[in-house]
Each structure stands twice: as structure tokens, then as C-alpha cells.
């Protein structure tokens, strides 16, 4: 058990150590050194995939919970890393997306950006995302949010094109605002509940007053909703995703908003499952508005990547819809909505990444991604046209791809729980997605061939680079096809993951933040006094913060 728990440190430690080695050994300049950087990064990504697979089989398939107390300092004092099926599923998908985008990135990132440290930054971003999925206390979640924000900010602006800097500033300002709200929420938790450990927060939150719970939930909703690009807070995403190199957009589109969605899933199921009932109208309204605004906004966009980034917003709405209906319905369907949302999340991460890469390839071949000025690529790049089409219909939800099964299950539970309006909105948004995808495909591939405005000659000359661009897209499309064909076992697995995520007592027990109190301290080995909490709520006297450190 000790060894497998230590495995939880690996998704953070492996990218970090590799990035450190790159900084140490293969420093910036020189093409040979950059080849070394690429080799090291690829090694780390494969290692990360292996670790994620191991964790996935342990946590999601075999249905176990992994807890690592760093340095053996028990829960409320030390740092906790926690993985159950939900975390492990997201870790696995993150590893797949990161590994799939990397060949595309190596083929398309220019020498200048590579010299500025693109490859270690890629690993730092991966480390931040992995850490956010694993962290078992609120403050470390914040820290990993900042790690991934900083890494993504540099990835967004490296190269220093004016448009990149412009969008980078908007991105970082809006995201820092969200982080500040999150920090305030953490402060509220610490001030009123006296802890930042997520299991302990879950344990104490039912004792807190109604006002504290509402404020805490609201602050977390704003912070995570902004990270996930939910309806009123999504402005940072379409402002920034179309300016960096396509590989960076593909990575961001696959990973960043999903961290926000994961934290929403985690916080609602762990901290306030009762709000999933009482806030349901609000959550469903936000979900519907997000779906609609994303899909309608995409309709008005002139460029491939702008359309796709608006669709990210639209699909985040689908996932929130699944979360909102997770606890409603009859007792047999508990967790059905969340399971469908998790399946949708998996489908979305895979397909969206493939689609952004395919769109990026179109952009690189045509020298522009403005739909008005491109077209006719089908004769020159038939394979790309085919893959783009497959990814597009998967996103729109056509069988036998994964989009169909995930949308069907979401729609089924929403109709079962009689939320007619939001399910109607979701069907409408899916229709708009279909229209948009067909528009993208027709404009890029079907029209008269228009001569590219500026051809990246290097790309068109090297067949190896072309394969490095197409093979990742093809493998992700195949993955989506597999997820669609083996939809039933996939759905069963995600149901199991969802029910585990909803089992908050098991989470608390696995981390067992109060084990210390229950053994020696409650028996008076400790001079316990009631803490003067500012919220004035009556916490039991055993819930103290200032306990001495446990034995090393």
C-alpha cells in the first residue's frame, strides 16, 4: 500500500524533475540541445502516461482510493494527495492529450519558441494540471492553479507577437481575478472552519452556519466557474485561444477548462451535495446559457480556432448540466447525471484536442484560419479532410463516435428528471454544433482552392512533419471511435466513478483527517479549548487547529 500511495507523487514529480533536468542539462540554445529537450520531454510524457494508466486501473477499474500524506504528516497538518476514480480518469485523459499533442507541437513549434523554453513549459503545465487533479487540500489546489496559470501564460505569450501579448494580458488578468476569488474562498474556509484540508472541510461544513456555506459555495462557484469558462465568466477564453501557435491552443483546449470542471465536480460532490438540489435551477440556467452562448457565439466567428474555442464553452455547459442533475431523479439514478458528465468530459477532451489540431493543420497549410480566405484543401490534403470530418461529426454527436453515447446519456437523464427546457436547449446547441462543424469543414476543404497567403515551406517539404501532425489526430479520432463503440463498458465505468465521487463519507474516511483526535487527544491527552471562531458557529471542542506536530 505504501508504494502504491507513493505513486501519487509521480504525476507531479516526473514532469517537474524532467523540466528541471532540461533546464540543468539541455539549456536553451542550439538545435542539438533542443533535440535533447524533445527526447527528455517525450520520455517524461510516456512515463506520465504509464503512471496515469497504473493509477487509472487501481482507482477507477479496481475501485480503490489512494491517499498520500506527504512526509507522513497526517491529514490536517500535512499535505494530502488524493486520487479516486474521478481524479485518475482525468489524469489518464490529461496524459493522453499531452502525449498526443506533443508530436504535433514538435512538428509545428518554431525554433525561436523552442529556444525560449517551450518544452520545459509544456512539462510545467502538465505538472500543474496533474497537481490540481491530485491535491487534497484547498491551498495546494490554489498553488497548482497558479502553476498551470503561469505556465499557460508564458506558453500563450512566448514569441511575443503583438496579438499574443494583447490576448495574454486579458487572459492573465481575468484568470488572476478568478484566482483571487478562490483565495478569498480558501480564506473563508480557514477563518470559519479552521482547516484547508478538503476532507476536513467536508467533515465540518455541515456544522457551519447557512451563511458560511452559501458564501463559500458562491465564491467557489465563481472561481471555478471562471476557470471552467461558464456563462457569465468565459470572456478570457475566446479572447486568448486563437493567438498562440495551434499546438498550444490544442493543449489548452484539451486541458485548461477541464481543471475548472473537475474542481466544480469535486467541490459540489464533496462539500455541498445538498446544493445540487437547492441550487439546481440556478445551475441548470447557467448550464443552458453556457451551451447556448457558446454555440451561438461560434456561429458568428470568422476563424476556425475562434469557432472551436466558443465550442469549448458550449460543451462545458453540457458537463455542468450533468452535474446539476446528478442527485435528482429516482434513487436508482443517483449519480447517473455525473456519470454521463464524466463520460462527456472524456469525449470532449479527446475530440476537442483532435479537432483543434486538425484545424491548426489547416491553418498551417493555408497560412490563415479565416474561413473567408481559405478553402479547397480536400484535393491537396485528403487524409486531413477525412480526419477533420470524423472529429467534427464526433463533436456534433453522430454515432458511432463517442459524442453520440455521451450526449445520449446526458439527454436521457435530463429528460428522465423532467428538465424539459434545458434538455431542449442542449439539443438545440448540439444542432448548432453540427451546423458549425459542417460550416468549418465546407469552408476549409470544399470550396475553390485558394492559394495560401503565406506558406510555411518547411512544413510542406517534410513528409515526416506532416505525419507528426496527422498521426496524433488520427489516433485521437480512433480513440473517440473506440469510446463510442465500447460505449457500454465505458459508461458503466464512468457511472462507477461518479458514484464513488458522490460518496463523501468514503473520501473523508480515506483521508481520515480526524484520526488524531479520535485516538489520543479526545481522551484528554490534550488540553483542548474551544476555538473562538469568527463565524460564531459551535464547532466541537476537539476540532482544533493548533495541535503539535505529529512524531516524525
Partner 1 sequence: MPELYLRLLNRILTPLLLLLAIYLLLRGHNLPGGGFIAGLMAAAAFELQILSRGHDRVRRSIGPYLNSGIGLGLAIAICSGFAGLLNGVFFKGLWFDLHLPLLGELAVGTPVIFDLGVFLVVVSVATSYLLGLSRISDSAAPIPDGASSLELSDSFESDPAVVADDSSLRSER
Query: Could you tell me which of 248, 261, 381 has the C-alpha nearest to residue 322?
Result: 261
CB of 66: closest distance to partner 1 in angstroms?
Answer: 12
Position 386 contacts partner 1 (CB under 8 A): no
Distances (CA, A) of 513 to 73, 242, 333, 516: 11, 44, 31, 7
CB of 119: closest distance to partner 1 in angstroms?
Answer: 13
Nearer to partner 1, 27 or 170 (CB): 27
- CA pair distance 144, 515, nearest whole angstrom: 27
CB of 13: closest distance to partner 1 in angstroms?
Answer: 6
Position 39 contacts partner 1 (CB under 8 A): no
Position 143 contacts partner 1 (CB under 8 A): no
Position 296 contacts partner 1 (CB under 8 A): no
Q: What is the CA radius of gyration of the chain?
A: 23
CB of 29: closest distance to partner 1 in angstroms?
Answer: 10
Instruction: List the grid coordinates of 485.
Output: 463503440
Query: Binding string, 86-125, against partner 1, x = CB under 8 A?
Result: ------------------------------x---------
Nearer to partner 1, 13 or 539 (CB): 13
- CA pair distance 260, 179, nearest whole angstrom: 11
Q: Is the link from the previous residue into 400 a cis peptide, with omega within 30 of 0?
A: yes
**CB-CB contact of 363 with 377 (8 Å):** no
- CA pair distance 432, 441, nearest whole angstrom: 14
Nearer to partner 1, 34 or 361 (CB): 34
DSSP state for residue 329 in the 8-state scheme? S
Position 83 contacts partner 1 (CB under 8 A): no
Nearer to partner 1, 17 or 334 (CB): 17
In the region spanning residues 157 to 216, those forming contacts with partner 1, defined by CB under 8 A, are 160
Candidates 63-71, 128-136, 462-470, 516-524 — which segment interacts with partner 1 by CB under 8 A? 63-71
CB of 173: closest distance to partner 1 in angstroms?
Answer: 19
**3 state SS for 20-85:** HHHHHCCCCCCHHHHHHHHHHHHHHHHHHHHHHHHHHHHHHHCCCCEEEEHHHCCCCCCCEEEECH
Instruction: List the grid coordinates of 107.
Output: 512538428
Q: What is the DSSP string of 174-218?
A: HHHHHHHHHHHHHHHHHHHHS--BHHHHHHHGGGS-HHHHHHHHH
Of residues 61, 72, 531, 545, which one binds partner 1 by CB under 8 A? 72
- CA pair distance 288, 320, nearest whole angstrom: 9
DSSP state for residue 548 in the 8-state scheme? P
CB of 552: closest distance to partner 1 in angstroms?
Answer: 6
Candidates 11-19, 282-290, 448-456, 525-533 — which segment interacts with partner 1 by CB under 8 A? 11-19
Instruction: List the grid coordinates of 552.
Output: 516524525
Distances (CA, A) of 518 to 196, 310, 551: 19, 51, 17
CB of 72: closest distance to partner 1 in angstroms?
Answer: 4
Nearer to partner 1, 161 or 373 (CB): 161
CB of 67: closest distance to partner 1 in angstroms?
Answer: 11
CB of 12: closest distance to partner 1 in angstroms?
Answer: 9
CB of 533: closest distance to partner 1 in angstroms?
Answer: 28
Position 6 contacts partner 1 (CB under 8 A): yes
**CB-CB contact of 341 with 90 (8 Å):** no
Nearer to partner 1, 114 or 422 (CB): 114
Which residues on neighbouring strands pair with residue 80, listed in sequence order?
69
Position 525 contacts partner 1 (CB under 8 A): no
CB of 113: closest distance to partner 1 in angstroms?
Answer: 11
Nearer to partner 1, 5 or 207 (CB): 5
Of residues 68, 105, 126, 410, which one binds partner 1 by CB under 8 A? 68
Nearer to partner 1, 454 or 552 (CB): 552
Position 27 contacts partner 1 (CB under 8 A): yes
Of residues 16, 114, 346, 354, which one binds partner 1 by CB under 8 A? 16
- CA pair distance 224, 320, nearest whole angstrom: 12
Of residues 451, 464, 523, 552, which one binds partner 1 by CB under 8 A? 552
Nearer to partner 1, 99 or 134 (CB): 134
Q: Is 94 helix (H, G, I), strand (E, B) or coil?
A: helix
- CA pair distance 90, 94, nearest whole angstrom: 6
Q: Is the link from the previous residue into 430 a cis peptide, with omega within 30 of 0?
A: no
Position 24 contacts partner 1 (CB under 8 A): yes
Position 33 contacts partner 1 (CB under 8 A): no
Nearer to partner 1, 2 or 332 (CB): 2
Position 239 contacts partner 1 (CB under 8 A): no
Position 530 contacts partner 1 (CB under 8 A): no
**CB-CB contact of 339 with 289 (8 Å):** no
CB-count burial class (<10 Å; 0-12, 13-18, 19+) for 473: buried
Angle between helices 246-270 and 487-502 (to 10 degrees): 50
Candidates 5-13, 324-332, 335-343, 420-428 — which segment interacts with partner 1 by CB under 8 A? 5-13
Neighbours of 198 (CB within 10 A): 26
> Which residues lie near partner 1 (CB under 8 A)?
2, 5-6, 8-9, 13, 16-17, 19-25, 27-28, 68-72, 116, 160, 552
Amino acid at each position: 500500500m505504501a508504494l502504491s500511495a507513493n505513486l501519487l507523487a509521480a504525476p507531479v514529480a516526473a514532469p517537474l524533475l524532467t523540466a528541471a533536468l532540461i533546464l540543468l542539462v539541455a539549456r536553451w540554445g542550439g538545435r542539438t540541445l533542443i533535440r535533447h529537450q524533445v527526447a527528455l520531454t517525450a520520455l517524461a510524457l510516456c512515463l506520465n502516461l504509464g503512471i496515469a494508466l497504473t493509477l487509472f486501473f487501481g482507482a477507477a477499474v479496481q475501485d480503490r482510493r489512494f491517499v498520500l500524506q506527504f512526509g507522513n504528516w497526517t491529514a490536517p497538518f500535512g499535505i494530502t494527495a488524493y486520487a479516486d476514480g474521478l481524479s485518475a480518469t482525468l489524469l489518464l485523459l490529461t496524459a493522453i492529450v499531452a502525449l498526443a499533442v506533443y508530436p504535433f507541437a514538435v512538428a509545428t513549434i518554431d525554433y525561436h519558441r523552442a529556444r525560449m523554453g517551450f518544452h520545459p513549459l509544456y512539462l510545467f503545465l502538465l505538472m500543474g494540471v496533474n497537481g490540481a487533479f491530485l491535491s487534497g487540500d484547498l491551498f495546494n489546489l490554489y498553488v497548482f492553479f497558479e502553476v498551470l496559470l503561469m505556465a499557460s501564460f508564458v506558453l500563450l505569450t512566448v514569441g511575443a507577437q503583438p496579438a499574443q501579448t494583447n490576448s495574454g494580458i486579458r487572459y492573465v488578468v481575468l484568470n488572476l481575478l478568478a484566482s483571487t476569488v478562490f483565495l478569498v474562498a480558501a480564506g473563508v474556509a480557514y477563518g470559519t472552519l479552521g482547516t484547508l484540508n478538503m476532507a476536513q472541510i467536508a467533515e465540518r461544513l455541515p456544522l457551519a452556519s447557512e451563511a458560511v456555506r452559501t458564501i463559500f459555495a458562491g465564491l467557489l462557484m465563481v472561481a471555478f466557474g471562471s476557470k471552467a469558462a461558464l456563462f457569465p465568466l468565459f470572456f478570457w477564453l475566446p479572447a486568448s485561444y486563437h493567438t498562440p501557435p495551434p499546438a498550444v491552443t490544442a493543449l489548452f483546449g484539451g486541458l485548461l477548462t477541464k481543471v475548472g470542471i473537475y474542481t466544480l465536480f469535486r467541490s459540489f460532490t464533496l462539500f455541498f451535495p445538498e446544493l445540487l438540489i437547492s441550487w439546481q435551477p440556478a445551475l441548470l440556467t447557467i448550464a443552458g446559457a453556457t451551451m447556448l452562448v457558446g454555440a451561438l457565439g461560434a456561429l458568428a466567428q470568422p476563424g476556425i480556432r475562434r469557432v472551436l474555442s466558443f465550442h469549448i464553452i458550449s460543451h462545458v455547459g453540457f458537463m455542468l448540466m450533468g452535474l446539476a442533475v446528478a442527485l435528482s431523479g429516482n434513487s436508482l439514478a443517483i449519480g447517473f447525471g455525473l456519470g454521463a458528465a464524466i463520460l462527456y468530459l472524456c469525449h470532449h477532451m479527446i475530440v476537442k484536442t483532435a479537432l483543434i489540431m486538425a484545424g491548426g493543420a489547416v491553418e498551417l497549410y493555408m497560412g490563415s484560419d479565416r474561413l473567408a480566405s481559405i478553402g479547397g484543401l480536400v484535393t491537396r490534403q485528403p487524409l486531413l479532410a477525412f480526419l477533420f470530418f470524423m472529429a467534427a461529426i464526433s463533436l456534433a454527436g453522430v454515432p458511432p463516435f463517442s459524442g453520440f453515447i455521451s450526449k445520449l446519456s446526458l439527454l436521457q437523464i435530463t429528460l428522465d428528471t423532467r428538465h424539459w427546457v434545458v434538455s431542449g436547449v442542449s439539443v438545440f446547441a448540439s444542432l448548432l454544433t453540427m451546423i458549425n462543424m459542417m460550416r468549418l469543414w465546407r469552408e476549409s476543404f470544399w470550396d475553390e482552392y485558394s492559394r495560401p497567403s503565406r506558406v510555411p515551406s518547411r512544413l510542406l517539404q517534410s513528409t515526416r512533419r506532416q505525419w507528426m501532425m496527422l498521426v496524433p489526430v488520427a489516433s485521437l479520432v480512433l480513440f473517440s471511435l473506440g469510446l463510442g463503440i465500447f460505449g457500454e463498458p465505458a459508461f458503466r465505468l464512468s457511472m462507477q466513478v461518479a458514484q464513488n465521487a458522490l460518496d463523501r463519507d468514503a473520501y473523508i474516511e480515506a483521508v481520515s483527517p480526524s484520526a488524531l483526535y479520535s485516538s489520543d487527544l479526545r481522551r484528554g491527552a490534550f488540553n483542548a479549548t474551544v476555538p473562538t471562531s469568527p463565524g460564531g458557529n459551535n464547532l466541537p471542542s476537539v476540532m482544533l487547529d493548533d495541535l503539535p506536530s505529529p512524531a516524525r
